[in-house]
Amino acid sequence: MQVSKFWRELPQRYRLEGKKCVHCGKVCFPPRDICPSCGSDDMIKVNLPKRGKIVTYTVMYTAPANFEIFKPYIIALVQLEDGTHLTTQLTDCRPDNIDIGMDVEAVIRKINEDGRDGIIYYAYKFRPVLKRAEKKLN
Amino acid sequence: MREVAVIGVGLTKVGHLFSESLRSLFSRAVRGALEDAGNPKIEALYVGNMSAGQFNNQENIAALLSDFAGLNGIPATRIEEGCGSGAAAIYNGYKAVASGVHDFVIVGGVEKMMDTTANDATSIISTVTDQEYEAFLGLSLVGINAMVMRLYMNTFGVDREPFAKFSVQMHDNASKNPYAQFPFKTSLDKAMNSNPVADPIHLMDCAPLGDGAAALVLCPKEYAKNFTSKPVEIIGAGHGMDNFIFHTREDFLSLKATRDAAREAYRMAGITPDEVDVVELHDAFSITAFLSIEDLGFVEKGAAGQIVDEGLIALDGTLPVNPSGGLKARGHPIGATGVYQMAEIVLQLRGEAGARQVPGAEIGLTNNISGFGASSYVHILRV
């Protein structure tokens, strides 16, 4: 893969940058230039909340060729605290201790790599919210 | 707008056809359709194909296929719309004839998938999903379907059994179809206990990889009687779209593209869902079939499992679904699938479907979708 193809998506992948419609308030992830709800092109950058809930998930036992070595892995549809949805891998958990409705939080993880000498792809994954971190915040 | 009829059908058996190439498959389907139609002079070709570039390392295939199918010199166009490429070719050929631009056209579809390994083919199929926000993360088409199936089971309190029963029914039907990739029956036990692919989807919930080609001859209805005693008319056509990325959709348990396409097709045909005698729909996975049965308006949301359980989708049921065996057992040569669906409905309405004939079928419906319902086509036919 050309570096530029990955590089230009970094704001979305490293800090969950989306876009919000100034006209109607719709938040989009991934970002887009035209609001799908009202058609306005007045869109501003926003950072999405880093927490959400699992809407549904799957455990991938067969994988596309470049993900073979990671299987089985879990992919979830997550609803963030502001209502925006995204697709993500789950990490730091096993298939038997997750469920629909579980609270999850974003972390940065390695997604894949282009062979020995190529790019290493990092991006968001989500994990079950750590109980200990919760206490510290309170 | 002119009324349009199907006057010829040609198709190959679906399977791992190692002795056949992209061009040989397509020319066989075209020859079959021309012979069936009584060899009218064809004015244009529309061919659906998802990914000859990736499966066969061959682009520019409209020229290649028309040349090798003996149609050199007429306008030929390749149409790509993911897994819906076949129906997209039909829709465009239909519009060309309905509008009066052409009188006799061939619409076809071909996919030669087994020139790659199964593993590579799965990756190629996943290119119908978003490469930056779905496939990049390791999600594939089966993964999206699996997430929907889990949500569906959780929301409506359904277990895996009705889904497995659907697959068993598809194999029953395919056992009577000489063109099917899997012309044999299977058991509920085998379907329930097949290996997990993307939980809760198991192997027997999935359409296989396979090669195949199908073609139809379309012409104005007023000329059709000169070529066949049983022209089958296309009385409704609809094309719907949805948000491309699955997680940006409004409703995760409904295919908006199919609802929109169906509404348009029913309106045009002037019929309601209960008037449909036989259906060919897009069961890439058993969950896709359940959503399609509901979104085509045959039952309410969450009720597809019930009619499968009660056997109503069998050949002698009130809503015979996929008499061909569907994508699950007839096979799913991607860009050709939409054309296989209409070929089956034409054979059914002519009363030429042999052991899998739905008795007295007069109105049939086809539904071909791309990706997980990013787009959807519905066609309604009547004899």
The DSSP symbol for B59 reads: -
Q: Give the mean pLDDT of B79-93.
A: 98
Neighbour-count burial for B331-370, b at 16+ CB within 10 Å, e otherwise: bbbbbbbbbbbbbbbbbbbbeebeebbbeebebbbbbbbb
Q: Residue A124's pLDDT is what?
A: 97
User: For B221-264, how does the pLDDT look when each residue is reduced to its tens digit (9 = 90+)?
Assistant: 999 999 999 999 999 999 999 999 999 999 999 999 999 999 99
Q: Under a CB-based contact definition with an 8 Å cutoff, are residues B65 and B106 in contact?
A: no
| Answer CATH for B4-117+210-224 from 2.120.10.10, 1.10.150.120, 1.10.10.10, 3.40.47.10 | 3.40.47.10
Q: Under a CB-based contact definition with an 8 Å cutoff, are residues A27 and A44 in contact?
A: no
Cβ contacts of B140 on chain A, cutoff 8 Å: 60, 62-64
User: Distance (Å, rounded) from C-alpha B109 to C-alpha B336?
Assistant: 4
Cβ contacts of A36 on chain B, cutoff 8 Å: 243, 248
Query: Is A123 in CB contact (< 8 Å) with chain B?
Result: yes
Q: At residue B96, does pLDDT exceed 80?
A: yes
User: What is B280-329 written as a DSSP string?
Assistant: E---SBHHHHHHHHHHTTSS-TT-HHHHHHTTTTSTTSSS-B-TT-HHHH
User: Distance (Å, rounded) from C-alpha A128 to C-alpha B141?
Assistant: 25
> Which residue ranges does chain B devote to CATH 3.40.47.10?
4-117+210-224, 127-208+236-382
User: For B1-28, how does the pLDDT look when each residue is reduced to its tens digit (9 = 90+)?
Assistant: 999 999 999 999 999 999 999 999 999 9
The parts of chain A modelled with pLDDT lower than 50 are none
Cα torsion angle, B282, B286, B288, B290, sign: positive
Say whether B182 sits in a helix, a strand or coil: coil
User: What's the one-letter identity of residue B163?
Assistant: F
Strands B196-199 and A103-113, bridge-based pairing? unpaired
B363 φ, ψ (degrees, to nearest 5): -125, 125
Which residue of A29, A56, A70 is in closest CB contact with B151? A56
Hey, are the CB atoms on B147 and A57 less than 8 Å from each other? yes
| Answer CATH for B127-208+236-382 from 3.30.479.10, 3.90.1150.10, 3.40.50.300, 3.40.47.10 | 3.40.47.10
User: What's the one-letter identity of residue B232?
Assistant: V
Which residue of B122, B197, B245 is in closest CB contact with A61? B197
ipTM score of the complex? Answer: 0.94
Catalytic residue check, B83:
yes
Cβ contacts of B120 on chain A, cutoff 8 Å: 65
Which residue of B120, B137, B252 is in closest CB contact with A75? B137
Give pTM, 2 decimals: 0.96
User: For B296-333, how does the pLDDT look when each residue is reduced to its tens digit (9 = 90+)?
Assistant: 999 999 999 999 999 999 999 999 999 999 999 999 99
Helices B286-295 and B141-156 pack at an angle, to 10 degrees, of 60
User: For A80-102, how does the pLDDT look when each residue is reduced to its tens digit (9 = 90+)?
Assistant: 999 999 999 999 999 998 999 99
Catalytic residue check, B332:
yes
Q: How far is CA A111 from CA A71, A123, B75, in A?
A: 12, 6, 46
Cβ contacts of B134 on chain A, cutoff 8 Å: 87
Say whether B264 sits in a helix, a strand or coil: helix
Hey, are the CB atoms on B154 and A59 less than 8 Å from each other? no
Say whether A57 sits in a helix, a strand or coil: strand
Query: Is A60 in CB contact (< 8 Å) with chain B?
Result: yes
User: Distance (Å, rounded) from C-alpha B215 to C-alpha A82?
Assistant: 49
